[in-house]
Structure 1
Amino acid sequence: MGGIDILMITYDRPEYVRLSLPHLLDSCTDDARVWLWHNGSDAATLAAVEEFRHDPRVHRFHHSPVNAGLREPTNWLWAESSGDYLSKVDDDCLPDKSWLEVLRRAHEDVPEFGVIGTWRFPESDVRQDLVDRKLADYAGGHRLMRNHWVQGSGYLLKRAMVERTGPLAEDDSFTSWCLKAARLGFVNGWVYPFLPEDHLDDPRSPRTIYHTDEDFLARRPLSAQKTGVRTVAEWTEQMKRSAYVVQAASLDLREYSGWRARGKSLSKRVRRAITGRAPW
């Protein structure tokens, strides 16, 4: 046991992989290992992965010829790794170079922390009045903007969280899984001051591939396809809405279960809140 095991899932983004994979490898601490799972058969993306898959920091590689999504590779890491800490970094994300040291130090100092993350939104999205309401102080001088879930990239969680909460179930999103853990007493959220993660799929990122509506339509993210977003402007507004939702979301766990959630899955409620198509 010991150390950190980090999953990166790659799919159909060769430009991003050539940025995100070496960035992740360079940010690894001495006891961190990267597990690569490649989805699909896009030759250019697979070639980009092959450039780095034999790096000594890459521990395991798996190629799924079909897009297996997120649940199967996440559970693969959780079941087969041995690290005390677990993570996933998406192939469209560049977490701050110090992210592992900062997040692990927080975990070591605060036993009740479950999943804590880097922050993927620009400064212009921060609502300080909302943040201040959710800030809490912990041992070792750590501060957390509490929220019962974080995004599924650039986070660090304790293996004990997986051991108690279990793997991702077939109907789980990462959001709903984090909420299960919160009900067990784990404290989730973002370290504060926020530790940045450059989200390349956000059109405001200087490294994004989305410069025109034509670029966006040709290679829309799955979440944009599901919500019917078709333009860069609409996608940017959805990013802004996502930032607002996590800052404004209630810390009352009763809001996410029982009669208040009747007739809707939690993941659908969160997705609709983010797209602005239904009230929170």
Structure 2
Amino acid sequence: MIDILMITYNRPEYVRMSLPRLLDVCPDDGRVWVWHNGDDQATLDAVGEFRDHPRLHRFHHSPANAGLREPTNWLWAEATGEYLGKVDDDCLEDPAWLPTLRRAHTDVAEFGVIAAWRFPDSDVDPELMAPKLADFPGGHRLLRNHWVQGSGYLVKREVVRQVGPIAADESFTTWCLRAARLGWVNGWYHPFIREDHMDDPRSPHTIYRTDADLAARLPLSARSTGVRTVAEWTEHMRHSARLVQGASLDLRHYQGWRLRRQIVTRRIRRAFTGRAPW
């Protein structure tokens, strides 16, 4: 059994594309769980159109915006599947997503959190990522990284059992780092399985065509980094792609004095520019 979570919030245009796509690519032994944050009626109506779908297993409505951690921990605590995943309501998964990742998990015992790739070809730097490409039994290959984005991933139940829930003071990124420290291998399947991240202005399905569109419904990550224009948001995406392709596989870089240096650098940049580094 595979249990997949989708969190919906104030995006009816996206939900009418992302939820049916997720239900369509879900296998016969898969179940989709939906957690809705907030009281946006248009988005609730969009979810309601699929409430009778045979793959939609559970629906939970949180009138307050509970964020991402609480819904993720809800799935992990309530679901019984051997594999667990999550797809954001602004993402469209390739039909090969679940079959490929499940086969990889079955063949490679040490795989922890493995995911689809959300950046366009123009963001891929073969030289940058070459040292992190690794081959595994069964003909599988990963672009290794100690964390992946919180959408389009599949994780073994055993990883969640060992690592535990996402703590109140951590993100999905730091949770993945905890899994990596226990020896689990994380990363993006390669050749890449595509995830269309519709919040990326370069997506053909994006709602962000103009700066006014962005200002009207500013994504949380854009707000936290000080982004205010479509050009800045696009550059943020490009920078994120380079960051993960070049991120160190040395876990010592994410703890102790190295981590403290990163935090100080972030605070200095925020003081001078009003923005955190991407």
* Interval containing the TM-score (normalised by the shorter chain): over 0.9
- Aligned residue in 2 for 1:40: 38
Instruction: Select which of 102, 105, 115 maps to 2:103.
Output: 105
Report whether the alignment pairs 1:122 with 2:113.
no
**Counterpart mapping for 1:63-82 below 5 A:** 63-82=61-80
For 1:265 and 1:234, locate their aligned partners in 2 and report how far apart those are by CA, in whole Å: 22
Q: Secondary structure at 1:114's aligned position in 2?
A: strand
How far apart are residue 93 of structure 1 and its match?
0.2
The 3 A distance-change label for structure 1 pair 125 and 264 is closer
Q: Secondary structure at 1:88's aligned position in 2?
A: strand
How far apart are residue 264 of structure 1 and its match?
6.0
**Counterpart mapping for 1:152-231 below 5 A:** 152-231=150-229
* Matched AA of 1:158: K
The answer to whether the 8 Å contact 2:224/2:276 transfers is no
For 1:93 and 1:221, locate their aligned partners in 2 and report how far apart those are by CA, in whole Å: 14
For 1:37 and 1:79, locate their aligned partners in 2 and report how far apart those are by CA, in whole Å: 14
For 1:172 and 1:265, locate their aligned partners in 2 and report how far apart those are by CA, in whole Å: 14
- Aligned residue in 1 for 2:238: 240
Q: Secondary structure at 2:88's aligned position in 1?
A: coil
For 2:167 and 2:276, locate their aligned partners in 1 and report how far apart those are by CA, in whole Å: 25
Q: Secondary structure at 1:262's aligned position in 2?
A: helix
The answer to whether the 8 Å contact 2:23/2:32 transfers is yes
Q: Which 5+ residue runs of structure 1 have no aligned equivalent?
A: none
The 3 A distance-change label for structure 1 pair 278 and 70 is closer
- Aligned residue in 1 for 2:247: 249
For 2:201 and 2:223, locate their aligned partners in 1 and report how far apart those are by CA, in whole Å: 16
- Aligned residue in 1 for 2:130: 132
TM-score, normalization: structure 2?
A: 0.95
How far apart are residue 278 of structure 1 and its match?
6.7
* Matched AA of 2:177: L
- Aligned residue in 2 for 1:95: 93
For 1:233 and 1:146, locate their aligned partners in 2 and report how far apart those are by CA, in whole Å: 29
For 1:54 and 1:78, locate their aligned partners in 2 and report how far apart those are by CA, in whole Å: 23
For 1:211 and 1:166, locate their aligned partners in 2 and report how far apart those are by CA, in whole Å: 40
Give CA deviations for 1:102-147 in whole Å, capped at 9, x if unaligned: 0000000000000000000000000000121101110000001100
Q: Which 5+ residue runs of structure 2 have no aligned equivalent?
A: none
The answer to whether the 8 Å contact 2:4/2:84 transfers is yes
For 1:193 and 1:93, locate their aligned partners in 2 and report how far apart those are by CA, in whole Å: 19
Root mean square deviation, CA, Å = 1.8
Q: Number of aligned pairs?
A: 272
TM-score, normalization: structure 1?
A: 0.94
**Structure 1, 68-77 or 51-60: larger mean CA deviation:** 51-60
Give CA deviations for 1:159-210 in whole Å, capped at 9, x if unaligned: 0000000000001100000000000000000011011000000000000000
How far apart are residue 262 of structure 1 and its match?
2.2
The 3 A distance-change label for structure 1 pair 213 and 135 is same
How far apart are residue 249 of structure 1 and its match?
0.1
